[in-house]
Amino acid sequence: MNKIYQLIIAVLTGSLLAFTASAQNALVTKELKLTSTEVLASSQATDWRLPEQRNLMYVQVSNTDAPVVFELAEDFAPKHIANLRTLVKQKYFDGLAIIRSQDNYVAQWGDPAEDEGEFRTLGDAAETVEPEFYRAKKGLALQNIVSRDAYADEVGFVKGFAVGADAKGRNSAEARAWLTHCYGALGVARGMAMNSGNASGLYAVTGHSPRHLDRNITLLGRALIGMEHLSTLPRGTESLGFYKTAEEATPIVSVRFGNELPTEQQIHLEVMRTDTQIFRDYVAARTKRTHDWFADPVSRIEVCNVNVPSRPVSTHSE
């Protein structure tokens, strides 16, 4: 690879990778204003958590050997996640398909059947589920970040998930909190009826975050790895990115929760904890952008640009 371009772009990205030499210079010259790379390098084992395999959903699409792995947020959508577990246990999604890929919006998967009579049965899963568009802010350990958000009074993180919340105070019974539609967010398609989403149709955000959907549809979690297998799918040419023919739709090989997989197929990831000083330092670094490449201090951040880090672990800890 062209080294000059690598340098040009490396510094452009504010990436977590590389630049040890320049980062060390920055450490000296910038009076300990750390870059996010340096913050990560300084993290301890206890700054990371291992998601439970039962909360990891592996979506295996036929265009790749590697799954997309989503972590589910049971604090936000326990009823939909329970229904999804029932569907997955029945192997509901196996052999279904990506039915829609709309540029700068979402990829969606589910039953590609043309007529209602041909739909795969939901089996033991419910046809309707009460909406979980938001929950009470009370009882939630929200780690706020300093950000002037376009869509929420407050924003922050809960166990790695980007969250918006009402600013009515932590103890108000009315204050709500909700998962946000950042890139990689996993949601439940629904119709006009608020309870018509049952998790048999799912979508992931593949473009700029459509935050106007926040509090209007149930989100379940977010992708930890493999989003590129959904974001690079050919776009459908029908309206809203639906595919014109069944042949264009990419088949879903299988959907499984991690605890249903043979050990050798489990992927072991750790996610940076978001209730720690290291996370606050990480957000501060992503906010300030002290790297010498930056001409103008940024000093601002948006919740969907925080990108809570995850990484593979080499040993099984379960």
Q: Give the DSSP per-residue string, 68-122.
A: EEEEE-TTT-HHHHHHHHHHHHTTTTTT-EEEEE-TTSEEEEE---SSGGGPPP-
The answer to whether residue 137 forms part of the interface with a second copy (CB under 8 A) is no
**Residue 66 binding a second copy, by CB under 8 A:** no
Q: Does the protein bind a second copy through residue 182 (CB under 8 A)?
A: yes
Nearest to 308 by CA among 150, 101, 138, 73: 73
Piece of the chain touching a second copy by CB under 8 A; list 12-20, 75-83, 269-277, 309-317: 12-20
Nearest to residue 216, comparing CAs of 244, 247, 183, 176?
Answer: 176
Q: Is 242 in the site for a second copy (CB under 8 A)?
A: yes
SS3 call for 48: strand
CB of 52 to a second copy, least distance (A): 25
Task: Assess 207 for contact with a second copy (CB under 8 A).
Answer: yes
Report CA 38 to chain centroid distance, whole Å: 24
Please identify which residue in 2, 44, 315, 317 interacts with a second copy, judged by CB under 8 A: 2
| Contact range with a second copy by CB under 8 A, out of 23-31, 43-51, 209-217, 308-316 | 209-217
User: Hey, which residues between 105 and 124 contact a second copy (CB under 8 A)?
Assistant: 105, 108, 110-116
Judged by CB under 8 A, the chain residues 247 through 306 that form the site for a second copy are 286, 289, 292-296, 298, 300-302, 304-305
Quick check: 136 binds a second copy (CB under 8 A)? Answer: no
Q: Which of 67, 184, 221, 309 binds a second copy (CB under 8 A)?
A: 184
When binding is defined by CB under 8 A, the residue of 210, 260, 267, 275 that contacts a second copy is: 210
Sign of torsion over alpha carbons 7, 287, 310, 46: positive
Look at the block and give the residue holding tokens 């166990």. Answer: 159
The region of 24-32, 66-74, 121-129, 146-154 touching a second copy under the rule CB under 8 A is 146-154
The residue within the footprint of a second copy, chosen from 9, 50, 141, 167 (CB under 8 A), is 9
Binding flag, residue 198, a second copy (CB under 8 A)? no
Interface with a second copy: number of residues (CB under 8 A) = 84
Nearest approach, Cβ of residue 82 and a second copy (Å): 21
Can residue 166 be called a binding residue for a second copy (CB under 8 A)? Answer: no
Q: To the nearest 10°, the Cα dihedral for 76, 176, 272, 266?
A: 10
Strands (E) located in 24-65 = 48-49, 56-61
Per the CB < 8 A criterion, the answer to whether 255 and 95 are in contact is no
